Structure formats: structure tokens, C-alpha cells
Structure 1
Amino acid sequence: MGHQRLGKLPAHRLLPEIVRYLVTGGTPTEDLVDQVTEVGRDALKLALKDPVFIEALWLLIRMPQAAASQDFPISLENLGMAGIAPASLSDVLVSYDRALEKVQRRLHAGATDLGEIARRAGLSALGAEVRQALPTLWAPTAADVRASVAALKGTEKFAALSQRFYASFVERVIHYYVDRNLHNMVGAGRVARSVHDLRAFNDSIRRHCEESALIMRAFAKDWLGKNHYKDGKQISRDDVRRFSAHAVEKIRIELGIRKGAP
């Protein structure tokens, strides 16, 4: 209800060419370079105005800090999350998800698909990083879960978390446009001949976005290290918005370089 779609991709006619290049390989044209770059850059620029996008990234910074505090439940409540310490990875993700849903409900007609994409990207990044830190030889306890979340507060872990978040966000935006047109792209004589081609496309998109977002690691590490650990700053949503604005430009440059742009 009141949901705002992202709209039509500026050069919609080039989507089949993007798919063809990623499935079969080859030398991208100048137009293709521009379009793949523009998809990610424009979405990130628009996302800076979306409160759900900002909240998704802000919670990825503040939730680990809350887990490392003396009173985890109260710290979570101060972030607008359920004041109950999560006992499992599922609890962590549900708590994060519900906090973002609250923001979406407050927006009503102002909610956008970019916010929903950011929510899913945040869940994916958070789940992957926490799962990676959990013990594997025994069933994780509530203390293990808290320690795994708290471990993400360090600059190295935040760097990895940022890369996952931005890579997942850009990947999902590209799929948002492409997947809506798959019925025109799959079949004999079309861009993708089979499901196997689509799998190759998905793998290529994911690899491209992950490698492009590598630039976020050093930037995110230095940013959090200076602002939170050196300057003692409590990271605000406005700080996250400024951080993301710088990230947009860095990712734009990297996307262009990866596609051979001058």
C-alpha cells in the first residue's frame, strides 16, 4: 500500500546486452560500461534519501556495540529493537528485521523498494558474518551468539560487513531490474537459452558486485576507526548518511574501472 517502485531503468533496452555479456563473456561496449555503472550508482544515490537504507546500515554498526555493552537488552531497546538478548542467530536476524519493519511502517507511503532491498541486504550481511563467528563443534549458546555479534564492532569486522552489505545491495538492485524482464530473455534464440545460462549470469553478477565492493573494506575500516575509536564519536544516522555518500562515489569509480571505463 503506497509502495513506490524504482521505476524504469534509464536505458532499459540495454538489459539484454548486460545479460549476454555476463553469460558469455566478451568485451563490453562503452554503453554497457555506463549502464552497469549507472545501475549501482543511481540506486545508491537514491538510497541515501531512504530512511530504511540508513537504518539498515546504522544498526549494523550499533548492534555489535550494544552486544559488547554491559547491559545488552537495554542497549538494544535504546536502538529501537526488542529489549531481549537474542539466544540464537535467528533471534538476532528477527530482532534486526523487526526494527527495520518499524521504520517502514512509520514511512507508510514514503516506503520504497530501495528500503526493502537494503533490509534484505542487511539481513544477508549480518547473518553471514555472525554465522561465520559462531562455534561449529557444539550448539551455540546465548553467550556464544552475543560474543559473535559483539565481535563485529571491530574495524576489521565492520569492513567485511560493509563490503557484504554494499555488494548485496547493488546485486539485488541489478536483479530487481533484470528479473522483471527474464520472460523476454530466456528461450531459443534469446539472450539466455536455459536455466544454466541464468545460473552463470547470477554467479557473474555476484562475483562482480563482491569484487567491486572490496574498495569498501579499507574505507569502512578507516572511517569507523577514526570516528568511533579515535574521536570517541557515537555514530549517528547522519554520520551513516555521510559515510554512504562517500561510499557511493568510491563504488561508482570501482564499478567503472572493473568494466573498463576510462
Structure 2
Amino acid sequence: MIADIAAAVERSADRSLSTAVQDPGFVESFWLLLKLPQAVAAEDREAAVQALGIHVPADAGLADLIAGFEAAFERFRQRSVVGFSDFAFIARDAAISALAGLVRDRGPSLWVSGAEDERATIASFASTTRFGELAQAFFTNVLRGHIRYFLDREVPRQLGVGHALASVADAEYFDEAVRRHCRETTIIMRAFARDWLGKYRFHLDKELTREDAAALAAYAFTKIRLELNRRSGRLAA
């Protein structure tokens, strides 16, 4: 029964992932995540960050930059003539969670990180290797958030004695299995994102656009969908 729940949810997620990059809110979220480390690493950091529509103090730390990210996303949403789907907000939360989680994981271990330490860690994701980590974290969060979107509608109906998930502990175990599944599925993105940034940003010296972000995401979702299909034993659509 648990396998049936997972398979049904995965089929629904697979179909909607195929159209994700058509959502302007998704593209904006990923583009901001892609560009923010580069802006923080820039010689004129304040101007570069402001150019993204992220308005924060000159000495901004992680919390300020996340708040600025959210505000920039919201202004974009208000200006957009196209309605945002729930997937746009999943992507926004995935981007923020990826950035915050990695900054906290990579920060100084012997003392509390200050704003300067946090900016240095964020700037490190402008490098090809570290961007691969950031991209994988983002797509892991997107995939998990997307699957959770469907699971949150299905799991309550399957929870209780006589159902697929007999207890809250079963549900928690299932949630951890989903988390692990998403991490393993998106590991393929780490090397690809690293090489992609190396080619476009450093070899071609290209200023990365929203269209570039959408193209990278489209390829990512193609690979992720194929991996989901392989893992579930289904043939790719």
C-alpha cells in the first residue's frame, strides 16, 4: 500500500514537473538563487545585489538577504501579468531553504557566524564546485516540496489503524524515505550544474539571464524525471 501511495504521487509529480519551467515564478526564484552568490562576490557588492532587486543594507547578513530575496520575489509576482502557480512558491521556499541550509552548514564551527562570514559563504557559491552543491540542494528541495504537495492530500486519508500508514511514526518514516529519495534522485545535478556554470559564466563570460536559468532547469527536470522513472521501474514518457 505504501508503494502504491508513492507511485501515485510520483506519477502526479512527474507530469507537473514537465511544465515547471513555464511558470515565471519558478524561473525567477531559480534565477535569483543563481545570481545572488555572484552579486555578493562582486567587487561592488552593494550595487550588484541591488541590481537584482534585492534591497538590503550594505552590511547585510543571511537573514537580511533572505528577507530581500522574498521581497524581490513578491514584487516580481505583483508585476507579473501571468498568474503564479503553487509551484512558484514551492520554488521560492526551495531556494531560500537551500541557501540558508548550506550557509549554516558551511559556516564557522567554533563560533557564531557573523554577517561577514555569512556573506563569504554565500559568495563561495559563485564558484563552479560550490554552485553544484547549491543547485543540487535547490532541486532536492523543489522535488521534495513538489512531492509533499501531493502527499499532503493523500497521507491523511491513509493514516490510522487498518490503513497503509498505521501510525504517526509510520508517516514520519515515510517522510524521511521521501527526503532520502529526493536527495538521491537529484545527485545527478551536482556535476552537471558545476560544468554548466563553468561553461557559461567563466569560459563564455556570459551574463546569466532568466532564459539561461530556465534552460538549465528544463534540462534538470528532464534528467530528474528520467531518474524518477528509472527508480520507479517505469519507462520514461
Figure out how many residues of one structure are paired with residues of the other and give that number.
235
Q: Unmatched 5+ residue regions in structure 1? A: 1-16
* 2:124 aligned residue (151, 170, 173): 151
What SS does the aligned partner of 2:80 have? helix
Structure-2 change in CA distance of 1:67 and 1:148 (3 Å):
same
Aligned position for 1:21: 3
Using the alignment, how far apart are the partners of 2:95 and 2:16 within structure 1?
Answer: 16
Partner residue of 1:136?
109
CA 193–212 in structure 1, closer or farther in 2 if over 3 Å, else same: same
Choose from 200, 213, 225 the match for 2:198.
225
The corresponding residue for 1:59 is 32
CA contact (8 A) 2:12 2:150 kept: no
Inter-partner Cα distance in structure 2 for 1:261 and 1:223: 29
Q: Superposed, which structure 2 residues align to 1:146-225 within 5 Å?
A: 146-225=119-198
Change (3 A) 1:37 1:114: same
Percent pairwise identity: 37
Partner of 1:94: 67
Post-superposition offset of 1:42: 2.5
CA distance in 2 between partners of 1:21 and 1:191 (Å): 9
Alignment TM-score, normalising by the size of structure 2:
0.92
Question: Is the partner of 1:137 in helix, strand or coil?
Answer: coil
Contact 1:22 1:205 in 2 (8 A): no
Task: Give the stretch that moved more between structures: 139-148 or 186-195.
Answer: 139-148
SS of corresponding position for 2:58: coil
| Residue 107 of structure 1, CA deviation | 3.1
Partner Cα separation in structure 2 for residue 62 and residue 115 of structure 1 = 18
Asked if structure 2 preserves the Cα contact closer than 8 Å seen for 1:41 and 1:248, the reply is: no
Structure 1 counterpart of 2:176, one-letter code: D
Instruction: Determine if contact 1:39/1:173 at 8 Å carries over to the other structure.
Output: no
TM-score, normalised relative to structure 1 = 0.83
Distance 1:166 1:43, change over 3 A: farther
Whether contact under 8 Å (2:56, 2:68) holds in the other structure is no
Q: Is the 8 A contact 2:9 2:151 kept in 1?
A: no
Shift of 1:188: 1.2
2: distance between equivalents of 1:93 and 1:83? 10
**1:75 paired residue number:** 48
Partner of 1:45: 18
| Matched letter for residue 123 of structure 2 | A
Higher relative contact order (CA 8 A, sep 6+): 1
1:213 deviates by 0.3
Shift of 1:83: 4.3
State the Cα RMSD in Å: 2.0
**CA apart distance, 1:87:** 3.4
